[in-house]
Structure 1
Amino acid sequence: MAVKARISNGGSAKGYVLLLALMVLIAAGASGLYWWKSESTKAYEGRTGVPQKLTDVKTVEVPKDSYDVIVAGTDPEGVAAAVSASRNGLKTLLVDGHNREILGGLMSLGWLNSLDMNYEPDKGVLHKREILNKGIFAEWYAKIEGDSFDVITAANAFNELVANEKNVDVLLKVKEMEPVVSESGSTSTVTGLKITLADGTVKTVQTKALIDATQDADMAAAAGVPYTTGREDLGDQKSRMAVTLVFRLKNITPEVWQKMAQRLQNDNDPGTGINEMSAWGYKDMKDYPPMNKERVAMRGLNIGRQNDGTMLINALQIFGIDGTDPKSKEEAFQLGKEELPHIVDYMKKKYPEFAGIELDATAPELYVRETRHIQGEYRLSIIDVLENRDQWDRIAFGSYPVDIQRMSPADTGAVVTVPQQYAVPFRSIVPLKVDGLLVVGRSASFDTLPHGTARVIPVGMATGEAAGAAVKIAKEKGLTFRQMAANKDAITLLQETLNNQGMVLQPFSIKPQPFMEHKAYDGLKVAVSLGLATGGYDNNFALDDKSNQQRVANMLEGMRKFKPETLSGSPSAALGKDTDPKNLPVSIEQAAYMVALMLKVDATRENAVEVLQSRGFLKPETVEAIANKQELTNGDTYLMIRDVYNAVKDLK
């Protein structure tokens, strides 16, 4: 009994210790969660609410004859590149060909006042998630209200960064910029920039390095760098993501904001929310009936509060716009301005809290998401993002969802996948065919799908910072940027330099996601690469869900864009006219027959599987891997798509 008593007493004491430890962990978890949350919604902590006066940008009237580096474009990526180059001791010219008087481009003039942040992978409730790209981006971020900010604050913060650099000359409002390119055999090299000043004077400025930080890689295109446009790499020559005209509403009193908070905090929707500087929700604005149904649509509201009692709305989508054509962009402004009075009137009638709002203004610049994608020494692929790949020459990291905006009013847009962390390589900012040039920002060497995550500002500023530092290293080592991209010692020095500037560029490894271990994963990779499969915000590709006849027909119709000459038949011809194919399972015979029709291969529904196997369009092991041949899953159909893709991808 005594022994039992001691055991009992010991167990009781141990229980108290465990209980106490558990309580400490819970308290620590709560405080850790609050710590992380307060950091991720910095706007609650740092906002003064006092409007800033826009500071003047100190500029030069006439640039010097030569600079160590010229940075073309004053968007955030250009600011980061110029500051980085200056801090590495380089005489730098930061020049812009738009009619701008302030720095920051789309952030300050397109009124994009919310950041798409990139955080490190979640390591548990007690872990504070750090932002992935620090350095100059973090330095600028510390000067603004948070991940949603006042655009004047942002512009002043960009100006402050540049004004503190004695090695930077700023030249604004030039009428034209054109790269000067020398030819030597098969090699082209940028040697300067021909600038038409505001007064019409033309001056050629010499340089050993040009960093193209324009939104659309204008300098690279003019220098002869190859590129694709929009979704061209998917075989879609015409589609473009919607552009957005941000608009400003006034009379946004604290009472209005409080009523907005009451709505968004009580709508039982985890996808909506509000803090002191931003709100996201009002999803039923997608039901707004536009005056121009073919060209204009609304989505749920992304709202940015400004310190002067106004708020900015990012929600008006305009379709069919070529972001590289000034006339097309002017058309977008006209379409948006014609629609806006009706939108504001609709909001006032639908939502009581907006009864007193008024349209104040529209952004000076249009938000264009996608135009050119240069061809570089490495092209970032959607599989790099899907598999959370590191790169040996990493210069930036991304983790933002692959966000593909609508292409038309009938489209819904898509989130392809949400990565945990992937690396952007230095090779992706080194263009093919032209030396003396680096390209940073959204038009760097990214395929169209990964562009949906890599186009965000934190990634762009990191690539700009890397470019500025790379110029110094290439100069000291006597390397071209192309040679540097293949030189591990030079890249190691670049990474060390960037880390000394505040970046944290370390190797990483991410555990494979469960869907990567599925038997159909090889097929899924092909389907994702062709834009035929999406996983949404939870990376659920539904590989084991039953497919249906309509879904397979739609995927094959989408696949035809990849090789229209070879895949010229219509798989939809296999669908019955008297039934709803969305409600019908798809058998292997039915799917194979659709493929045969697409390939214009002579086959019947009964022998299509055999015919495709004999022609090399369907592998026997794929047929064997399909467990239920009468009701194919999504994974089964992706494997069949893989076989067709592999068979035709190299055909002329």
Structure 2
Amino acid sequence: MKKFVLTAVLASVCLGLLAACEDKKSTTPPPVDLSKPDVVIVGSEVEGMYLARAARDEGLAVVVIDPREKPGGQLIQGEMQYLDEPSDGSGKTLLQGRVKQLFDSYKKGTIRKSGEFQSYFDTLTDGIPIESGITITNIAIEKQAGSDKQKIGSVSYRTKDGTQKTVTARYFVDNTDFAAVTSKLGLKRIPGIETVFPGSKPVDHMAASLMMKFKGVDWSKFQKEIGKLSKKEREEKYGSETTVTDTFTWGLGNVGSRFKPSSPEVFLRGLNTINQRDGDVLINALLLYNVDPANPESVKKAVENGKKETDRIVAHLRQELPGWEQAEVNGYPNYLYIRDYDRYETEYVLQATDLMSATMYWDNVSIAGYPLDLQGTMEHTWGERKGVPDKYGMPLRSFIPKGYANVIVAGKNVGASAVAYGSARIQPNTSLAGEVIGIMMAKAGKDRLLSEVTEKEMKELQQYVEKKYDIRITGVKGKDKIAGLSDEQRRQFNEGKLVLP
């Protein structure tokens, strides 16, 4: 009897292990022919790597060719690891999909240091070849058969060692932070931040940043000493909204104001700070103006200027902040946080009123949220927050360049007006869109491009995404926060001439 029971138990365990193995097997992407990719992604910014991962997991052959010397862009090379979380008007998180996994670990404190972010990034790129340091030499544009649209037939590029290559694919994705692909397609540029903050430059962009890394900070003392102050005392000394939790800070604008920059091309704003554990701290606050991310020499100069300014800022922080008396510079990132560059017309360009009225679309690929946060330019250093939406949809059409059948934009290339971009640009918003688009690319089938899907087909794709991945992008309603605005007020708001409370 005991032998029979033991045998039954062992059989049950074996069946369980077999089932587990089958489950694991079912989540492993099938082998693909990488010499004939379905998707070519240009650039390795994290938002587009969510697209890459999703498309690969759904069975597509994906390759990445990257103009930057090393992969990872803003998140890895720029170490922009102070993560902004989108939430609705009630404070409920809007995170979904793979990017939610990153934020969950981030908030728990298990992903805080650069090596931990690198390990996470490696899960997105696993099994996806990345060729770094390439230079695009030609983009072959063709007429899409049976359509009035154009398409990219192939992309030619030169490798680091000078080898010339040409790649063809069903889809091409611009996942760079300097419009490496879309700038070459003959598209109309979306008017930028110069329309909101007029200055001497006909074309302008929001400031870039070099993330500042410090060690030797006594965070407990920092939090305790500032926490002792009344709200009035905190605001008088450190600036409005100054807050120090056990993990983050925000506010501290007066600390930035009291710093004297070495040149007009650098500026210290309020301190967005993350406690990385063990006395290590990362700050997003050092603004760099007039950076052209399409020009390697401009980027190199800005990085060097940022390093020199960081060396000056650490002495300022030692004097200004309790717990920072022994702070030291803890190295420098290899690259910048590029917020903004030229964007080109997509099939639908999001407007600020779309965001504030909680507009949802039949072709939603993301549910997004975040204040319309416009960082400054050299002539308007502090920037401005234009309004705070509840939640809003991001349509697939805002990720398809106008008149192109097989091109997708990712991340910072999203089709959004200068004002709407203040919110749409936030990483989790476009990361979710990237993942959903990657899934849909595969699910739409070999003979159907996403630019061709009907409303009925889109509904089926959205249902698949929700059923398999628990990502809900339909049936969501938000609060219209501009219902009382007149047509003239709406026009002014879209142009950046009106600020909503």
TM-score normalised by length of structure 2: 0.83
C-alpha separation between the residues in 2 aligned to 1:245 and 1:229? Answer: 25
Query: Which deviates further from its counterpart, 311-320 or 336-345?
Result: 336-345
Q: Does 1:105 align with 2:38?
A: no
C-alpha separation between the residues in 2 aligned to 1:495 and 1:310? Answer: 42
Shift of 1:183: 2.4
Structure 1 runs not aligned, ≥5 long: 1-62, 123-128, 541-652
| Residue of structure 2 equivalent to 1:605 | none
Specify whether residues 138 and 390 from structure 1 end up closer, same or farther in structure 2 by C-alpha distance, changes over 3 A only.
same
| Residue of structure 1 equivalent to 2:136 | 177
C-alpha separation between the residues in 2 aligned to 1:419 and 1:432? Answer: 26
C-alpha separation between the residues in 1 aligned to 2:375 and 2:64? Answer: 31
Shift of 1:425: 0.5
| Residue of structure 1 equivalent to 2:487 | 522
Whichever of the two has the greater Rg, that structure is: 1
| Residue of structure 2 equivalent to 1:135 | 97
C-alpha separation between the residues in 2 aligned to 1:137 and 1:288? Answer: 37
| Residue of structure 1 equivalent to 2:85 | 117
| Residue of structure 1 equivalent to 2:469 | 501
C-alpha separation between the residues in 2 aligned to 1:216 and 1:466? Answer: 23
Matches within 5 A, 1:611-650: none
Q: 2:385 aligns with which of 409, 412, 415?
A: 415
| Structure with the higher helix share, 1 or 2 | 1
Specify whether residues 511 and 307 from structure 1 end up closer, same or farther in structure 2 by C-alpha distance, changes over 3 A only.
closer
Q: Residue type of the partner of 2:123?
A: E
SS at match of 2:311: helix
Contact kept? 1:97, 1:173, Cα under 8 Å: yes
Shift of 1:325: 2.6
Contact kept? 1:440, 1:467, Cα under 8 Å: no
C-alpha separation between the residues in 2 aligned to 1:151 and 1:275? Answer: 21
Shift of 1:204: 1.6
Q: Does 1:190 align with 2:152?
A: yes
Aligned length: 453
Shift of 1:266: 3.0
C-alpha separation between the residues in 2 aligned to 1:424 and 1:230? Answer: 19
Q: Which has the higher contact order (CA 8 A, sep 6+)?
A: 2
Contact kept? 1:288, 1:297, Cα under 8 Å: no
SS at match of 1:183: strand
Specify whether residues 467 and 448 from structure 1 end up closer, same or farther in structure 2 by C-alpha distance, changes over 3 A only.
same
Shift of 1:391: 1.3
Matches within 5 A, 1:150-161: 150-161=113-124
List per-residue Cα deviations over 1:499-526 (Å, max 9, x = no partner).
122311122333443x633xx6333212
| Residue of structure 2 equivalent to 1:295 | 265
C-alpha separation between the residues in 1 aligned to 2:356 and 2:85? Answer: 18
Q: Does 1:319 align with 2:289?
A: yes
C-alpha separation between the residues in 1 aligned to 2:479 and 2:245? Answer: 34
Contact kept? 1:393, 1:427, Cα under 8 Å: yes
List per-residue Cα deviations over 1:30-72 (Å, max 9, x = no partner).
xxxxxxxxxxxxxxxxxxxxxxxxxxxxxxxxx9432111122
Q: Residue type of the partner of 2:364?
A: R
| Residue of structure 1 equivalent to 2:206 | 241
Structure 2 runs not aligned, ≥5 long: 1-32, 235-239
List per-residue Cα deviations over 1:547-567 (Å, max 9, x = no partner).
xxxxxxxxxxxxxxxxxxxxx
Shift of 1:234: 5.6
Query: Which deviates further from its counterpart, 278-287 or 107-116?
Result: 278-287
Shift of 1:110: 1.3
Matches within 5 A, 1:583-594: none
Contact kept? 2:255, 2:320, Cα under 8 Å: no
Specify whether residues 196 and 142 from structure 1 end up closer, same or farther in structure 2 by C-alpha distance, changes over 3 A only.
farther
Contact kept? 2:220, 2:246, Cα under 8 Å: no
Contact kept? 1:110, 1:367, Cα under 8 Å: yes
C-alpha separation between the residues in 2 aligned to 1:326 and 1:403? Answer: 27
Shift of 1:145: 4.5
C-alpha separation between the residues in 1 aligned to 2:458 and 2:294? Answer: 33
Q: Residue type of the partner of 1:173?
A: S
Specify whether residues 179 and 380 from structure 1 end up closer, same or farther in structure 2 by C-alpha distance, changes over 3 A only.
farther
Contact kept? 2:74, 2:338, Cα under 8 Å: no
Q: 2:452 aligns with which of 483, 489, 500?
A: 483
Q: 2:56 aligns with which of 86, 91, 96?
A: 86
Q: Does 1:492 align with 2:459?
A: yes
Shift of 1:304: 1.9
TM-score normalised by length of structure 1: 0.65
Shift of 1:357: 1.2
C-alpha separation between the residues in 1 aligned to 2:161 and 2:289? Answer: 36
Shift of 1:532: 1.0
C-alpha separation between the residues in 2 aligned to 1:393 and 1:435? Answer: 16
C-alpha separation between the residues in 2 aligned to 1:300 and 1:259? Answer: 20
Specify whether residues 235 and 291 from structure 1 end up closer, same or farther in structure 2 by C-alpha distance, changes over 3 A only.
closer
Q: Residue type of the partner of 1:177?
A: I
| Residue of structure 1 equivalent to 2:27 | none
Contact kept? 1:298, 1:316, Cα under 8 Å: yes
Shift of 1:531: 1.1
Q: 1:446 aligns with which of 416, 420, 427?
A: 416
Q: 2:164 aligns with which of 198, 202, 212?
A: 202
List per-residue Cα deviations over 1:443-478 (Å, max 9, x = no partner).
1111111110011111111121122123224444x3
Q: Residue type of the partner of 1:332?
A: A
What is the CA RMSD across the aligned residues, in angstroms? 2.5
Q: Residue type of the partner of 1:154?
A: F
C-alpha separation between the residues in 2 aligned to 1:149 and 1:503? Answer: 25
Specify whether residues 420 and 473 from structure 1 end up closer, same or farther in structure 2 by C-alpha distance, changes over 3 A only.
same
Query: Which deviates further from its counterpart, 499-508 or 231-240?
Result: 231-240
Specify whether residues 188 and 506 from structure 1 end up closer, same or farther in structure 2 by C-alpha distance, changes over 3 A only.
closer
Shift of 1:493: 2.4
Q: Does 1:472 align with 2:442?
A: yes
